[in-house]
């Protein structure tokens, strides 16, 4: 069991470099399956979800070398088409590999993905869309087998702008016969990053970053070198860390425009924010103001930062409200925050919370239930009086690169222990 041990009460001050995006790196690594030529990716974060993805690629037959944030992959000898069940269960994003495998090999076998327990997150949208491209699905002994002779372009209308479903459609359509059109597509920056990487390989993708995406099938892809975008969720987490500890921070290697909604909310609580090129500077106020937040698909407020802002708002003056519109089980972490003195009430339908700011947060032993909820407990520990132990930190390691080292460099008193 891995835990973070935090002695709170220290301001976060200084400068850090933003890591590469987790939510962008995982689908971009999947593009290596489609491309039999060598591909080189830069700015790849050193996190557990990336390690899991690379293990799957090796099982499938890829050759991989890594030097710091640079990863070189060759899938020339790709032969296997089944994702091992144990690796599939480690993180939700493994389902993205299915579109790439069937896109190249016309066959894939997998089980239902795992990941954080923050809601049902069914993959029915993925399966429905791939079926419309001519891919057949059967279930056998808790495994899902998909196969086709030919993937054919189609007009697809998503019921919800699912990021994962949009990515799977794109990946499976690169070699399709004809044109694939996605209506109500996800518009997240990570979708645009995936498309930009594939376009650099020679794919024909239009409209990524909008609700209507067009993919024209091609016959081959070319070698590529590509730098993955910065992680906007990590940047938001550190900005909130500085705010909750009344510190001052500069974050480099960011895309401020991807965080416009988040920066607006930080200004609303009283933070002084300045932007210069790819840098964001934040100076925290002495008193944090209460606000209301409603999570929405991009360009709305990101659900991944909802737990982070919940921790921040436990120190606000007055009562804040947060409405969660993406995942139905996002608020499990609130019970752990309450152990530290937070005053949080969950309404009857479980989709909205009210947070009454308190003067004092006290250290305690708490448990991570998911990736972003676990990060919220770390932030609460940074602001708490006394010692906080955040157990089951394995969830946090899935998505944050060297979190303890970065916090230490900013003045936090934190260490990671492995029992």
Domain ranges of the chain: 2-19+230-418, 22-227
Sheet holding 319-323, edge to edge: 292-294, 319-323, 352-356, 343-346
Q: Distances from the Cα of 361 to the Cαs of 173, 305, 328, 368, in angstroms? A: 51, 20, 27, 18
| 275 burial via Cβ count (<10 Å: 0-12, 13-18, 19+) | middle
CATH class of 22-227: alpha beta
pLDDT of the residue at 226: 98
Do the Cβ atoms of 125 and 106 come closer than 8 Å? no
Q: Please compute, for residue 29, the number of CA atoms within 13 A of its CA located in the half-sphere on the CB side.
A: 34
Do the Cβ atoms of 271 and 240 come closer than 8 Å? no
pLDDT of the residue at 188: 98
DSSP 44: -
Beta bridge partners of 119: none
Which CATH number fits the domain 2-19+230-418, given the four candidates 3.40.50.300, 3.90.25.10, 3.30.70.1340, 3.65.10.10?
3.65.10.10
**Residue 189: in which H helix or E strand, if any?**
helix 189-201
Residues labelled as active-site residues: 116
CA 287 to chain centre: 30
**Which token pair is 221?**
């892809």
Quick check: do 2-19+230-418 and 22-227 share a fold?
yes
How many CB atoms are located within 10 Å of the residue 38 CB? 15
Distance CA 129, CA 125 (A): 6
**Which token pair is 14?**
């200084």
Query: pTM value?
Result: 0.95
pLDDT of the residue at 328: 78
Do the Cβ atoms of 163 and 302 come closer than 8 Å? no
Per-residue pLDDT of the chain (419 residues; tens, 9 = 90+): 999 999 999 999 999 999 999 999 999 999 999 999 999 999 999 999 999 999 999 999 999 999 999 999 999 999 999 999 899 888 777 899 999 999 999 999 998 775 555 444 568 889 999 999 999 999 888 899 999 999 999 999 999 999 999 999 999 999 999 999 999 999 999 999 999 999 999 999 999 999 999 999 999 999 999 999 999 999 999 999 999 999 999 999 999 999 999 999 999 999 999 999 999 999 999 999 999 999 999 999 999 999 999 999 999 999 999 999 998 778 999 999 999 999 999 987 889 999 999 999 999 999 999 999 999 999 999 999 999 999 999 999 999 999 999 999 999 999 999 97
Length of the chain: 419
**Which token pair is 194?**
């995936």
| 385 burial via Cβ count (<10 Å: 0-12, 13-18, 19+) | middle
């Amino acid at each position: 069991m891995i835990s973070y041990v935090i002695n709170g009460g220290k301001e976060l001050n200084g400068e850090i470099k933003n890591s590469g995006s987790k939510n962008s790196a995982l689908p971009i690594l999947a593009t290596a399956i489609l491309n039999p030529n060598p591909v080189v990716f830069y700015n790849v974060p050193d996190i557990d979800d990336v390690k899991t993805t690379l293990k799957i690629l090796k099982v499938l037959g890829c050759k991989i070398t890594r030097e710091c944030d640079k990863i070189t992959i060759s899938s020339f000898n790709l032969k296997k088409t089944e994702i091992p069940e144990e690796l599939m269960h480690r993180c939700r994003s493994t389902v993205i590999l299915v579109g790439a495998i069937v896109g190249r090999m016309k066959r894939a076998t997998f089980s239902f993905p795992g990941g954080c327990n923050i809601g049902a997150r069914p993959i029915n949208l993925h399966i429905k869309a791939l079926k419309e491209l001519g891919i057949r699905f059967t279930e056998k002994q808790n495994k899902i087998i998909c196969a086709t002779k030919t993937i054919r372009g189609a007009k697809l209308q998503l019921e919800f702008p699912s990021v994962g479903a949009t990515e799977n459609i794109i990946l499976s359509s690169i070699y399709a016969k004809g044109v694939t059109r996605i209506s109500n597509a996800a518009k997240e920056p990570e979708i645009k990053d995936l498309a930009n990487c594939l376009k650099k390989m020679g794919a024909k993708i239009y409209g990524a970053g909008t609700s209507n995406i067009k993919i024209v099938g091609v016959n081959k892809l070319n070698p590529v070198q590509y730098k993955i975008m910065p992680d906007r969720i990590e940047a938001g987490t550190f900005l909130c860390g500085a705010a909750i500890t009344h510190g001052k921070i500069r974050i480099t290697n960011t895309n401020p425009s991807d965080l416009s909604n988040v920066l607006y909310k930080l200004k609303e609580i009283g933070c002084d924010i300045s932007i210069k090129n790819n840098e964001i500077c934040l100076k925290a106020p002495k008193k944090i103001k209460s606000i209301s937040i409603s999570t929405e698909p991009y360009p709305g407020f990101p659900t991944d930062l909802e737990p982070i802002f919940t921790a921040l708002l436990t120190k606000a003056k007055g009562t804040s409200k947060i409405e969660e519109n993406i995942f139905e089980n996002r608020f499990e972490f609130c019970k752990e925050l309450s152990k530290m003195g937070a005053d949080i009430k969950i309404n009857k339908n479980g989709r909205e919370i009210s947070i009454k700011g308190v003067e004092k947060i006290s250290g305690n032993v708490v448990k991570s239930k998911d990736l972003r909820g676990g990060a919220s407990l770390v932030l609460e520990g940074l602001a708490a009086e006394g010692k906080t132990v955040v157990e089951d930190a394995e969830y946090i390691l899935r998505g944050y690169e060297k979190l303890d080292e970065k916090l230490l460099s900013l003045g936090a008193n934190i260490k990671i222990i492995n029992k």
